[in-house]
Amino acid sequence: MTLAAAAQSATWTFVDGDWYDGNVAILGPRSHAMWLGTSVFDGARWFEGVAPDLDRHAARVNASANALGLKPSMSAEKIVGLTWDGLKNFDGKTAVYIRPMYWAEHGGYMGVPADPASTRFCLCLYESPMISPAGFSVTVSPFRRPTIETMPTNAKAGCLYPNNGRAILEAKMRGFDNALVLDMLGNVAETGTSNIFLVKDGHVLTPAPNGTFLSGITRSRTMTLLDEYGFKTIEKALSVREFLEADEIFSTGNHSKVVPVTRIEDRNLQPGPVAKKARELYWEWAHSTSAG
């Protein structure tokens, strides 16, 4: 299965108290989320029988809902339990994307703010393969990450992703797989889909959280595992030049976990030993702690 085919892959959706087979219609033209984008989600993964940090992803979707002014209706524990129930519908041959969501059905004053009382929930599970661990290419995007003063960057909100999408589309038009996105100060923030790390002279570095991007759950887990192994990750403001001169670059994110960057602009990179070790450590940890 290709990534493009995932949109039509096996899907199960929990909404309004029941599980449904397929991509269920849940929004109408007057739904606030359809019109004004008041939705949040989170993304966990089930692969090789494990669902790493599922509890943290479930907790974060509730935090995102609160940040956007929605009213979460499901406990994190309930979301975890529903997920394991729903995963029984899959054979496990293909990785599954786990996506709990909240959205507003109605608006408040003049229709603009969400009405928290109208918050709805669904949990969508669908087959979606991870990208190849062989790596991907990046180019610096002309588009920037917003700040907390301009967008709800403290939430995993759907309204943030058109900006990521246009960055990736622009990068692909120039022959790259993904985009390296900067913050408003011109420092590197993340890729269009994931957090980013570099290795230089044996030191692991990653952009310090500054309110422009989510400090991801897989990012945090990878940092912890590397630290326990002996690689202390340094969080600091990082320039494009530092990435261009890096010995290694790798990304972390829920979709494909730990993946090396093999080209940045016109410079080719080999997958390095730190990225390889980070991926090995993540897989070892996941299989030791995350089975259902």
The pLDDT tens digits for 251-271 are 999 989 999 999 999 999 999
Task: Give pLDDT tens digits for 173-219.
Answer: 999 999 999 999 999 999 999 999 999 999 999 999 999 999 999 99
Average pLDDT over residues 10-22: 96
Average pLDDT, the chain: 95
For 136-289, CATH number?
A: 3.20.10.10
**pLDDT range class, residue 292, cuts 50, 70, 90:** low
| Whole-angstrom distance, CA of residue 48 vs CA of residue 290 | 10
User: What is the pLDDT, as a whole number, of residue 5?
Assistant: 52
Domain edges within the chain: 4-127, 136-289
**pLDDT range class, residue 8, cuts 50, 70, 90:** confident
Q: pLDDT at residue 143 above 80?
A: yes
| Whole-angstrom distance, CA of residue 289 vs CA of residue 178 | 31
Q: pLDDT at residue 7 above 90?
A: no
Residues with Cβ within 8 Å of residue 158, at least 6 apart in sequence: 33, 37, 39, 40, 41, 103
Q: pLDDT at residue 245 above 90?
A: yes
In the Cβ-directed half-sphere of 264, how many Cα atoms lie within 13 Å? 25
C-alpha angle 187-145-223 in degrees, rounded to nearest 5: 65
Instruction: Indicate the SS3 state at residue 88.
Output: helix
Residues with Cβ within 8 Å of residue 93, at least 6 apart in sequence: none
| 4-127 against 136-289: fold identical | no
Lookup result for tokens 């974060």: 60
| Whole-angstrom distance, CA of residue 182 vs CA of residue 141 | 7
Instruction: Indicate the SS3 state at residue 140.
Output: strand
* Of the options 3.30.470.10, 2.40.160.40, 3.50.50.60, 2.40.30.10, the CATH number for the domain spanning 4-127: 3.30.470.10
Average pLDDT over residues 83-92: 97
User: What is the pLDDT, as a whole number, of residue 222?
Assistant: 98
Q: pLDDT at residue 111 above 90?
A: no
Residue 131 region by backbone torsions, left for phi larger than 0, else alpha for psi between -120 and 50, else beta: beta
Residues with Cβ within 8 Å of residue 255, at least 6 apart in sequence: 43, 45, 97, 128, 130, 131, 193, 194
Average pLDDT over residues 26-51: 96
| Whole-angstrom distance, CA of residue 191 vs CA of residue 138 | 8
Task: Give pLDDT tens digits for 152-183.
Answer: 999 999 999 999 999 999 999 999 999 999 99
What's the length of the chain? 292
Strand-pair partners of 107 = 114
Strand-pair partners of 100 = 123
User: What is the pLDDT, as a whole number, of residue 211?
Assistant: 95
pTM: 0.94
